[in-house]
Every structure is written in structure tokens, then in C-alpha cells.
Structure 1
Amino acid sequence: MKPVRVTINGKFMSAHMTGVQRVAMEIVREFDRLISENPSLASSVTLELVAPKSAEPALTTLGLKAIKVRTAGRFGGNLWEQLELPWLAKGSRLLNLCNLGPALSLNAVTMLHDAQVHAAPQSYSVPFRLWYRFIQPWLGHRSRQVLAVSEYSKQDLIKYGVAPTEKITVAHNGVDHVLRLTADMSALDNLKIIPGEYVLALANIQSHKNIKVLLTAFADLPDLKLVLFGRADRAALQGLIEAPLTDNIIPAGPVSDESLSALMSQALCIAFPSRTEGFGLPPLEAMLLGCPAVAAPCGALPEVCGDAALYADPDSPADWVARIRSLKDDPALRQTYSNLGQAKAAHFTWARTARQILELLAS
């Protein structure tokens, strides 16, 4: 039998790094490793990553050996994806890993990470919401197969009519990429923080991320600092609450992967109060590095974190204070959840994810 020809939609290599882009990059890297080491896989599927020319500088960071890489086309972004990619991928199966793909493609496998524009529309601009509410159901019904990143996400895609049940396969994300990093401990010195004396959280002001509950809670945790990594600055965070931000709130801004690894490994815990989440990379990444997680029992978080995390009511700052305080006051309890978290997160590997998707593509 001839191997199945697969074109990977490489538009993600021309975008700024988000969780969705991270997933795509790690899956492609793992595809490359698996095909290089496994002749039977190499004989069943051939992969080519096709990207817009604007992605050329970033493509070398993937370090691909077995997967052919090609840049082509005159456009970039959505125009390239919608108008040029269908012709560039002609005669092959198209793999879209980042929620979007060309509307004209009939032979595609598309990863839809969540249905947040339906579940939490207030978190998105009107143009973004309108585009996703059109394109995702179109792709969900037109694609040959749809990949969901959790059972929760699958059920949301069905609930909101984004994709039919029989087309959806769940392929959990991996988190073991964090083990490749060399932690940059200077990040703690730069922020003037002490190991074990701070809690880490994501600086994202989208409504469903629910950071407001943490900003309120830390008024009652004066002996601990809340370090927030990401794009939101102090002014943006202040806009979420009426009371002035306390001095123990530290916006760290965007940080490198190496700095984030250090911040995760040395934190008392990571706090993740999202009201809905298609998967939830940050808490599992932190757990794999030995950092306990306190999460809201919402979205896919209970599915992926299981009994290895503590949970707090997303509407109760006092509940977050109590859970965080319990870890601070009881080192043995913190160590228990550190051990549980590492064991749980170790199950989520990119090798498992990539092999599952390759087998689906080749079938």
C-alpha cells in the first residue's frame, strides 16, 4: 500500500506563541521523532509541513529531520490559509492543529481545542467571535475527523453543534516538553521573590480565566505574593477589581520558557481559577515540575488533574485563601500534592498524543 500523504497546516509557525501554538509545535516535533525511529510508521504515512513565507525564520526552531518543510504562497495569515493552502495541499490529507483551517478543504483532520466562543462569548471581541462561530462549525462538519483535546471539550463541541459525535476523537495534550528546559533561576532574583513564598498564576484578563477571584483573595494573604505571568500589566489587572491592587500582586509580564520553568518549580503552588478550559496546560506543566495546583473544578481541569490537585470555588475568594493557606501551613500536605501531581502529569506525553494522531491519519 502507498503511504498516506499528509500536509500539516503550518500557519501556526507565523503566529505569536500561545497554548494552541505550543500544542501544534510539540505534536509536529514528536511526529518527526516517531517517524525517524519507526520504519513502519514511515511506510504508512508521509508528512510535509507547508507554511507561509513569513514563517521561514521560525521554522528552524522545530529542528525537523524526517518531515519535509516547504514555504510557499504570496499571502500570510488567514488569507494564506483560506486561499492558498487548499491548492498547496492538493492531493493529500490536510492536518489542521490550531482550531482553524481552509473552508474549501474536503480531506482534512482538524483539531478543535474548545468551544469557548460559545461557552464564554464575553471573553472575545465581536469580529473574533463571529469568525469562529462561522468557521469552526463549518470545519467541524466538513472535516473527515475532528480531534478534541479532552472529553470535556468533545462534549462542548457536540453541545454547541460544532461537530457531530461520530467524527470526534479525543487526543489529550502532553506536558513533558517542560522537562527539556533548563530553568533560569535568575527569574526569581529579577522579581525579588523567595522560593515557596509566592503563588504563580496566569495574567490573562479574559472573563472566563477568572483572575479577579485571585486578586481579591490575595488581600487576605499578605505574607504571600501572587506572581502573574503573561501579557496583562498592572493597569489591566486593576481594571478587574474596584479595590486597589495590593502590593503583593506582581505582574511579571511575558516570560521565557526557561524563566517560567523556574517560577513553576519554586512556587508554593500554581492557582488556576478558570471557569471553563478545553484542557489546561499550565497547571499540568507545573505539576510535572513538582508544583502543586489549586484549580477551579470547571471545564477539563478535573478531568486532567484528577485527585492530584486541590480545588477551590471559582466564586469564593475565601475558598482560595483557605486552599493556598493549607499548603503554606502544612509542608507535608504540600509534599503530598507535589508527589501526586508529578505522578498524574507524567501520564500526559507528546509521544502518546502524536502516535494516536498518526495512527488516525494513516487509517
Structure 2
Amino acid sequence: MKTIASKTIAFNGKFFGSAPTGVLRVAEQLVAATDALIAGQAANGVDYAVVVRDSAKVPPYRNISCVREDPWVRGIHRTAWEQLYLPLARRKDFILNLCNLGPLFHRDCATMIHDAQVYSAPESYSLPFRLRYKFLFFFIGKRHKVILTVSEFSKQELVRYGIASADKIVVVHNGCDHVLQIRPDEGQLAVLNLKPRRYVLALANTQKHKNIGVLLKAFANAEMSDVELVLFGGATRADFENIGHVVPQNVRFAGRITDPELVGLMVNAGALAFPSLTEGFGLPPLEAMALGCPVVAAPYGALPEVCGKAALYADPFSPEAWSLNILSALNDETVRQALIAEGRRQAGNFTWKQAARHLFETVNAVSR
């Protein structure tokens, strides 16, 4: 006889079908890892569902059902769908929101707020974006049952800016082991004319807190002339130049690339450089470590918490410090092998299975 579920935990699936971002990728991995974890739980009186917009493509989960919106709401804006339709359609359920925001008119929620950067790095966001997020964060922090975040640093920031009290916030670290399941595509090495171990990867992002400008200055130094800086992501050379940066000739722009292409670049890179002035977690450095790519990072935000002793740290305001540490990671074989070995160990501490278990236990405790 099939047990009738006494409650449903519904994932807010607004991220399915959206353009990939770091936050959305984390949500996808958490849902997939939770699906693998909850086999047999429905028999204990709990159902799990992911609620999505009608056109979204959803992986074939084994233990989480997929609930699509009613036909009459097709075409409404994503914000209206989340704030109006979702709490009405799932008014009896516990809603789990993994992408910073969630419905204000539904108290029976857990919401993952990844960082407080609209407060700590306001210059990186437009005024309308900042005002919207601050408004929603204020009420989410007060109304929802539990606030999830991705690092102890982010927890401290959420408390510091008055979003939620410390006793209401639970830290669920990201995993990074998904990169080990991706088959590398090394085609970008030929496209960009790169030599293995003689290039450094970094984000192509013009947000001020990402601090890519310090790398552009570092790679303009004469001692870096035989090393390439490869920037991956949406920002172009023109985007950087338009905001006043000088882009050296040894900088390559890979553009938006596939996950296999990024893995192919990471496994062949001399290092990954991550000079952020603040970061809620910092997943790319851990992904690089898992793949055996040395990391040079700024000692800011959550990066020391996440990278531990497995990275070289450089002053984010000193191009000379970045040149020195990058060349050490590339040319000093003793340093390089130590970084690779320690990086793999550090990355092994962050798995999606572990993250899903912590998420699962937290949500089940507060949704009873």
C-alpha cells in the first residue's frame, strides 16, 4: 500500500531554462544531489517536487517529481511567477528557494542567500538591482523560517547588514566534484593558440569587486610577456577598454564557453587567478583545485575559508604581487606540485553529496 504524503517540500525551479550563472549552477547541483539522497523518503510521509515554468527543461529525476505551471500563467514575468503564482499554487507546501530570492507571501520557506554583495560591493550593481534585492532580502530574512548561505563569511555578512539573525542562518558549503564528471574538451587551446602551462585563467567580468584590473596590470609587466592571460565569460576586450582598462597584448578572450571547454582549459592551465575583493563562496578556485590546476587568490571574502592553505595569496591591489605569485606557480616545480597536491585534498572536502545531506537535514527539521 502506498503511503499518502503528509507534506511536500517544493523546490522553486525558476532557474530551469535561465541563462547559466554561478548561482543557477549551484541550484542545479543541489537538486540533483538531493534527488540521489532521498530515495525512499516519500514512504515516510514526505514528497519532493520541483515546480517549474511550463517551457523549462528539467532533468529526469528519480525521486523528485516535476510540477509544471497551469496553462493560464504562461507568459507572465519570472518575478510575477515567483512572487504571485508560486505561493498560491504551493500554499500548503514548504518551498525551498536556492537562488537568493523567494516568495514574500509564503512564510513556510527556506531561502539560500549566497552573499550580501549588494551591500558590500554596491558599485558592481545598478541602482534598481540593488534596491530590489535589498527590499526583498529585508522581508525574506524576517519572514522565511530559515536562511541558508554558502560560507561562514557570507553568514557574517548577512548578520552584519541586518538581513537575518545568526541563529536563523545555516551554512551549506557548495560542492565542486561535478567537474570530475565532465570530459575535457581541449579545442580552445588550438582556437586561442595556447601552450599548456604557459597561460593563466581568470573570469572575464567587469564588476568592480571581481578586480580583474589588477591582472591586466600584472600581465602588462615585462616579466609576464611570455605568459598568456585567458579570460573566460561574457565580457569582451571592448567592455574592459570602455571602462578605462588597458588590455595588454598577451590577454586572450575565450568568451562564453561550454563546461567541457572550461574543464579542458583548467586541466592545461598554469594557474587560475582569482583576485576578488569579496566573494560569497568562490567556486572556480575549488573546481580548478579538483582538476589539478594551481590557484592564486586574494585573501578576501570567503576565499581563505574555501581555499584554505591550498592557494597562493596575493595582495589584490598589487600587480607586482600577482606577477610574482603567478610565476612561482608556473615556474617553481616544487611550489607547483605542492599546490596541486594540497589543492586536490582541499577540493575533496567539498562534495555535493555532503551539501545535499546538510540541506536535507536542515529543511526536514524546520518543515515539520
> In the alignment, what sits opposite 2:204?
203
- Residue 3 of structure 1 deviates from its aligned partner by 5.2
Q: Larger % of helix: which?
A: 1
Cα deviation per residue 1:73-113 (whole Å; 9 max; x = unaligned)?
41241110011000121111000000001111110000000
- Alpha-carbon shift at residue 41 of structure 1 (Å): 7.6
Deviations 1:185-215 (A, max 9, x none): 1121111101101000000100100000001
**Residue aligning to 1:72:** 69
Q: Partner residue of 1:261?
A: 263
Q: Give runs of aligned pairs for residues 310-325 of structure 1, distance below 5 A.
A: 310-325=312-327
The residue that corresponds to 1:156 in the other structure is: 157
1:16 paired with 2:19, answer yes
> Aligned in 2, Cα 1:217/1:156: closer, same or farther, shift over 3 Å?
same
Q: What CA distance in whole angstroms lies between the structure 2 residues aligned with 1:329 and 1:34?
A: 43
- Give SS of 2:359's match: helix
Equivalent position amino acid for 2:277 in 1: R
* Contact 2:271 2:330 (C-alpha < 8 Å) held by counterparts: no
* 1:1-363 aligned within 5 A: 4-36=7-39, 39=40, 43=44, 45-55=46-56, 58-59=57-58, 62-73=59-70, 74=73, 75-220=76-221, 221-243=224-246, 245-363=247-365
Q: How many residues get paired?
A: 356
Deviation at 1:331, TM superposition (A): 1.6
Distance 1:186 1:329 in 2: 25
Residue identity matched to 1:263? L
> By how many angstroms is 1:15 displaced?
1.5
Unaligned 5+ segments in structure 2 are none
- For the 8 Å contact 1:6–1:47, the answer to whether it is kept is yes
Partner secondary structure for residue 28 of structure 1:
helix
CA spacing shift, 1:253–1:42, aligned 2, 3 Å: farther
CA contact 1:277–1:300 (8 Å) conserved in 2? yes
Q: Secondary structure at the match of 1:7?
A: strand
Rounded Cα–Cα distance in structure 2 between residues aligned with 1:273 and 1:82:
36
Using the alignment, how far apart are the partners of 1:44 and 1:227 within structure 2?
51
**Deviation sequence 1:99-140 (CA, Å, 0-9, x none):** 001111110000000000000000001111110010012101
Contact 1:35 1:42 in 2 (8 A): no
Matches of 1:233 and 1:11 in 2, distance apart?
Answer: 28
Distance in 2 separating the partners of 1:54 and 1:161: 37
Deviation, structure 1 residue 42: 5.8
CA distance in 1, matches of 2:10, 2:329: 47
Give the letter for the 2:200 counterpart: V
Structure-2 change in CA distance of 1:128 and 1:71 (3 Å): same
Task: Quickly say closer, same or farther: Cα 1:44–1:350, change in 2 above 3 A.
Answer: farther
> How far apart are the structure 2 equivalents of 1:154 and 1:204?
25
What percentage of residue pairs aligned between the two structures are identical? 47
> For each residue in 1:20-40, what CA deviation from the matched residue of structure 2 results, as whole angstroms up to 9, or x when unmatched?
00000000001111123xx35
Secondary structure of residue in 2 paired with 1:337: helix
8 A contact 1:217–1:318 mirrored in 2: yes
* Cα distance change, pair 151–3 in 1 and its aligned pair in 2 (3 A): farther
Q: Is the Cα contact below 8 Å between 1:204 and 1:231 reproduced in 2?
A: yes
Taking a change above 3 Å as real, the CA distance of residues 50 and 76 of structure 1, as seen in their structure-2 partners, is farther
Unaligned runs of 5+ in 1: none
| TM, length-normalised to structure 1 | 0.95
